[in-house]
Structure 1
Amino acid sequence: MTVIRHIVFDIGKVLIHYDPELPFNRLIPDAEERRYFFENVCTSEWNIAQDRGRSWEEAEGLLVAKFPQHQENIRNFRKHWHEMVPHAYDASVALMERVIDGGHDVTLLTNFAADTFSEARKLFPFLEKPRGVTVSGEISMIKPERGIYEHHVKSFSIEPKAALFIDDSQKNVDGAKACGWQAVLFTDAKTLEVDLERFGILP
């Protein structure tokens, strides 16, 4: 096994809790109405386009034109974004900090809209501790596209086979492996700790 010299963390659902339904439990109390809203209006596919770099102004405009009756809640998605990230996963953050304190090279690779990531930096100061971060919304590429992994490698002078990627999405893990990285699926901090020990990153 190649010695790991670079550890690359995803952010959402690995270091930070993310759930877009949290503010809408209040804004759309009826469960069926809320389900319709997320399945047909502010869908995951619509939101991912902001992770790829589309502006919120354009994104909202497209949906308001199509669903004028939902205008308020379409705009509420961005307005109440901060409620979708209510807390960090403290145990995961502690592991990341242990890895950094142990002298290892740590970077971040995330699917995130550029402006909401700026907010996340203020909400979660530990995001400044790694050497750097690749934010999908800033480069118009998203995981699991090959280009974003290659961009990260080039930006941070990473040797792919000596990199360990940690992500909560199997398709993103597979994308990293397809680019020659080593990668593990994040499920919880305890399992990640075992993985980091297995790769010789933690004692």
Structure 2
Amino acid sequence: MINTIIFDLGAVLVDWNPHYLYRNLFPDEQEMKDFLANITTPEWNEEQDAGRPLQEGTELLVQQYPHHEANIRAFYGRWEEMLGGAIEGTVELFKQLKENGKYKIYALTNWSAETFPIALQRYDFLNWFDGIVVSGTEKMRKPNPAFYQLLLDRYNTKAEEALFIDDNLRNVLAAQKLGIKSIHFSSAEQLKAELENNFII
């Protein structure tokens, strides 16, 4: 019996994409993609999500790639420009689940503690959650099993009574290993169908 829904945020409810910023900084699309793939890599960004200070992460890359200094500093200096809008279809499903009244609804997000307050100010629906666990604050991140367990323990939730939604298959598989029923998110339409198939809505 599912009584708890756990959402990821980025690419599920919030449209965050470095391309939004870097298309303004690189005239060549392939050059931009190479920069994001090889310098400001997802792995590097996740270290900030796990609690490393933004300045420390930035200076580390600037030392390694001094000829890219301006573009590296833009990653967090102009981070807000990477935020698109809310993913409205998913937000509507969230609203439906909230109004249903049957579920406690939480967020488990890999997000820097320094940039998360910007999102809190921008997206009103983040205030709908019964609780949000932010990796940068806790100094651990998905797919670390302890991060999922932290949310379960904090909010007195059992793994077998929870449903987890994330766009990253790595994170979904980690949740499933803990006994949390999970949905690998690809679109609001796909999520709606899976929620209906599981009698959640």
CA distance in structure 1 between the aligned counterparts of 2:196 and 2:37, rounded to whole angstroms: 40
Q: Equivalent residue for 1:160?
A: 159
CA distance in structure 2 between the aligned counterparts of 1:50 and 1:133, rounded to whole angstroms: 18
* CA-to-aligned-CA distance 1:135-166 (integer Å, 9 cap, x gap): 11111111111110111101111111010000
Q: CA offset at residue 199 of structure 1?
A: 2.2
Q: Is the 8 A contact 2:159 2:180 kept in 1?
A: yes
Q: Equivalent residue for 2:126?
A: 127
* CA-to-aligned-CA distance 1:14-64 (integer Å, 9 cap, x gap): 001121121111111123332332122211111110111101110111111
CA distance in structure 2 between the aligned counterparts of 1:186 and 1:35, rounded to whole angstroms: 24
Consecutive unaligned residues of structure 1, counting only runs of 5 or more, are none
Q: Equivalent residue for 1:99?
A: 97
Q: CA offset at residue 66 of structure 1?
A: 1.2
Consecutive unaligned residues of structure 2, counting only runs of 5 or more, are none
When the two structures are superposed, what TM-score results if normalisation uses the length of structure 2? Answer: 0.96
Of 67, 75, 78, the residue aligned with 1:77 is 75
* CA-to-aligned-CA distance 1:97-132 (integer Å, 9 cap, x gap): 110111121000111111111110111111010101
CA distance in structure 1 between the aligned counterparts of 2:5 and 2:127, rounded to whole angstroms: 15
Q: What amino acid is the match of 1:191?
A: Q
Percentage identity across aligned positions?
36
Aligned ranges for residues 1-203 of structure 1 at < 5 Å?
Answer: 3-103=1-101, 104-202=103-201
CA distance in structure 2 between the aligned counterparts of 1:195 and 1:31, rounded to whole angstroms: 35
CA distance in structure 1 between the aligned counterparts of 2:198 and 2:107, rounded to whole angstroms: 18
When the two structures are superposed, what TM-score results if normalisation uses the length of structure 1? Answer: 0.95
Q: What amino acid is the match of 2:165?
A: I
> SS in structure 1 opposite 2:52?
coil
Q: What amino acid is the match of 1:76?
A: A
Between structures 1 and 2, the one with greater strand share: 2
Q: Is the 8 A contact 1:50 1:137 kept in 2?
A: yes
CA distance in structure 2 between the aligned counterparts of 1:118 and 1:140, rounded to whole angstroms: 16
CA distance in structure 2 between the aligned counterparts of 1:194 and 1:43, rounded to whole angstroms: 33
CA distance in structure 1 between the aligned counterparts of 2:29 and 2:70, rounded to whole angstroms: 18
* CA-to-aligned-CA distance 1:62-104 (integer Å, 9 cap, x gap): 1111111111111100122112111111110010011011112
Moved beyond 6 Å, runs of 4+? none
Q: Is the 8 A contact 1:4 1:199 kept in 2?
A: no
Aligned length: 200
Q: Is the 8 A contact 1:114 1:136 kept in 2?
A: yes
